[in-house]
Structure formats: structure tokens, C-alpha cells
Amino acid sequence: MKIPVTGFVVDSGDDDDQHSHKLYITSWNGCPIHVHAFSGETSIDDGHCHEYAGCTSPAPTGVPHVHKYHTVTSVNQHHTHLIQGVTGPAIDLPGGGHYHKFEGYTTINGSRPHCHAYCGKTGNEISR
């Protein structure tokens, strides 16, 4: 099965053998793509919490979908945690657009190994 994808590639500008490129997808199977901002604060565990913020991976607009997300928390007590997962399905907003719910647990880290719970809702969609 072939799915038509449009977008563009940006060169990192490095002139060595290890240079990289970023791929920006602008449509998937004829549908424009969008992302969502997300942010929040983790649960309090081991006497502290962490803040986090990020942007979901792109997904096509106008079709049922979910988004992957991935970010690193703020530093607290000399460590961070990784937050990653997949949102729930789109929930329509009365004035147009939609948001997604997300929840999970961070990776385990810290001088006394622990994790934190997190949950929230993304912001409205942002067209790319």
C-alpha cells in the first residue's frame, strides 16, 4: 500500500560526514497535518514534582487519529525523567478543532529511583 506524503527536508548546515536533516511532513494521504502543544506538572513523588512541555508528533487532519508525544521533564533534585506515549482519540471542541487526553508514568530516575504519574489534555490543533 502506498500513501502519498508531501513535505520538505531542511539540511542542518553541517559540512561533515555526520551532518543531519530534518523532515517536515505537510500532508499525509492528501490531508494536511497538525500537531498539539502539551504541558503540565507531574505527581509529587520522592518529595518533589517536575514540569514538562512539548509538542506532539504530526497527524492528518479530518480523520480519526492519535498522536505520539515525547519530552523530557524539568530538572529537579539533580535529575530529569522522560515522558512518552500515545494520546487518546480526538475530542471535538464546540467552536471547532479538537484536543486529546494523555496520561502515563515517567521513566525511573533519581538518586533514590522513582517515577512520577502525569496526565492532561493537549491544546487545540496547530496546522503545520
Residue-wise pLDDT tens digits, 70-85: 999 999 999 999 999 9
Task: Share the mean pLDDT of the chain.
Answer: 88
42 closest CA partner among 76, 85, 88: 76
User: Positive or negative CA dihedral for 70, 76, 80, 85?
Assistant: negative
The pLDDT of residue 127: 81
Report d(CA 29, CA 32) in Å as an integer: 8
Q: How many CB atoms lie within 10 A of CB 52?
A: 23
pTM above 0.85, yes or no: no
Q: Is the pLDDT of residue 54 over 80?
A: yes
Q: Using pLDDT thresholds of 50, 70 and 90, give the confidence band for residue 113.
A: very high
Tell me: pLDDT of 118 over 80. Answer: yes
| Residue 23: predicted pLDDT | 66
| pLDDT confidence of residue 62 | 80
Residue 125's Cβ-count burial label (10 Å; 0-12, 13-18, 19+) is: buried
**Predicted local confidence at residue 126, as pLDDT:** 87
Q: What is the per-residue pLDDT across 1-36, written as a single tens digit (0 to 9) for each? A: 777 767 667 776 766 666 677 666 666 677 678 999
Cβ count within 10 A of residue 31: 13
Cα separation, 6 vs 18, whole angstroms:
26
Out of 49-53, 57-61, 97-101, pick the least confident. 57-61
